[in-house]
Amino acid sequence: MRQRRWVELLTDYDCEIRYHPGKANVVADALSRKEPVKPICADLDCGVEGKLEPRTDWVLYFNGRMWIPKSEELRTLICDEAHKSRYSVHPGADKMYQDLRTSYWWPGMKKDIALYVGKCLTCSKVKAEHQKPSGLLQQPEIPQWKWEQISMDFITKLPRTPRGFDSIWALGTRVNLSTAYHPQTDGQSERTIQTLEDMLRSCVIDFGGSWDTHLPLIEFSYNNSYHTSIQCAPFEALYGRKCRSPVCWTEVGDSQVVGPELIQETTDKITIIQSRLKAARDRKKSYADRRRKPLEFQVGDRVLLKVSPCKGVVRFGKKGKLAPRYVGPFEILERIGPVAYKLKLPVELSNVHDTFHVSNLKKCLADHDVQIPFEDIQIQNNMQFIERPVEIMDHGLKKLKRNRIPIVKVRWEGKRGAEFTWEREDQMKLKYPHLFTVPSAS
């Protein structure tokens, strides 16, 4: 009604309505517009010069602190010494300000220090972030019919069974391209794999034997159990009825609905399941976005790439916990979807996929003239370190109920005594036979 009243009023005038964005509509500060306040502000500015005290060392002091003139080089030199020297080692903006304010002063000192620390490329690469992860939750579209979207995933690094199996090929998730080093992109698959792994552990503990013998019953149990998102079992959602089991054998009967009635009943059930999935999806997004923050970049921005979680960077001969958390900066070439960006990677990183989720990126505030020595960065194709064994330290036996497994104590390259590991002897002989060769007597 308010807009209608204004429209009726303005129809009598020959005027042009122009939109003024809210961000550009800066409201005038009433205090700064008052004329009596201006002389007071001028007196405050002049009062600083009146409080400067010259001393015998020909240096001006303000309230007992050395006054630094408006010299960019001098102030930067002081900040460099308080931030990058061996005696300071890159403190944060607050710590650095508290350290300097006892001895130095200049107008806008705290703001300048915060800007200086924000532009420090080393701090941007190695400091941990204590903030919410970037990027709001992006959820997949709900399928319109059964088996509309099918994909696969692998459960690897399982114990090798007597029949030679050490992996599971899981089907049932969607086929799509995802960003590099962001498993949450296919979070539905990862959550399903987590449930399957828990069921495998339970079966091995309770029933014994190798895990591959329990897979058929695990598949049956998973598909015949209640799922909160669809409020029924996957088997019931697919076939319209529950599957017989020792728990409910007599309650399940054959469906007598055939022909058009069966099609209508199936369509109605799918519509109900879609509405349940939508409600579950909205509920999950509302919870997830509370712990996330939106972040957007523009094409041409310079960003740093997070690599520490992937443990795939070797820099200055250091790896693991001493590796940098970020590398870069890199230029953004294109925005891929709402939360992914394509980066301009150098030739040295051509083996890395160039599209990344926004949670793996951070705005680079360093100056454009900073050059990155890419020859110091080495990234493996799978973004993981290759740790090589050095020697066999000891032999032993792992005692099980029915057999004994020979094991060896291995010293790995770059690890100390407390980090030696015990490995299976047969697997180590197969992969590293040179460790078991006896040197010939000379």
| 394, part of any domain | yes
| Cα gap 71→383, rounded to integer Å | 45
3-state class (DSSP) for residue 93: helix
Which among 334, 354, 378 is the end of a domain?
378
List the structure tokens of 13. 């005038």
Count how many domains the chain has: 4
pTM comes to 0.50
3-state class (DSSP) for residue 138: coil
Q: Are residues 156 and 113 part of one domain?
A: no
| 143, part of any domain | no
pLDDT of amino acid 419: 56
List the domain range (segments joined by +) for residue 210.
152-289
List, as one string, the DSSP characters of 339-373. Answer: TEEEEE--GGGTTS-SEEEGGGEEE--S-TT----
| 383, part of any domain | no
Under-70 pLDDT residues of the chain: 1, 22-23, 25-50, 56-57, 136, 138, 140, 142, 145, 147-153, 157, 164, 169-190, 241, 244-266, 308-323, 368-388, 413-420, 438-442
pLDDT of amino acid 369: 58
pLDDT of amino acid 44: 60
| 112, part of any domain | yes
pLDDT of amino acid 311: 45
CATH code of the domain containing 112: 1.10.340
Q: Are residues 182 and 117 part of one domain?
A: no
Q: Are residues 156 and 75 part of one domain?
A: no
Residues 6+ apart with CB under 8 A from 419: 412
Residues 6+ apart with CB under 8 A from 198: none
Q: Are residues 337 and 269 part of one domain?
A: no
Place of tokens 């122009």: 18
Q: Are residues 179 and 282 part of one domain?
A: yes
pLDDT of amino acid 87: 80
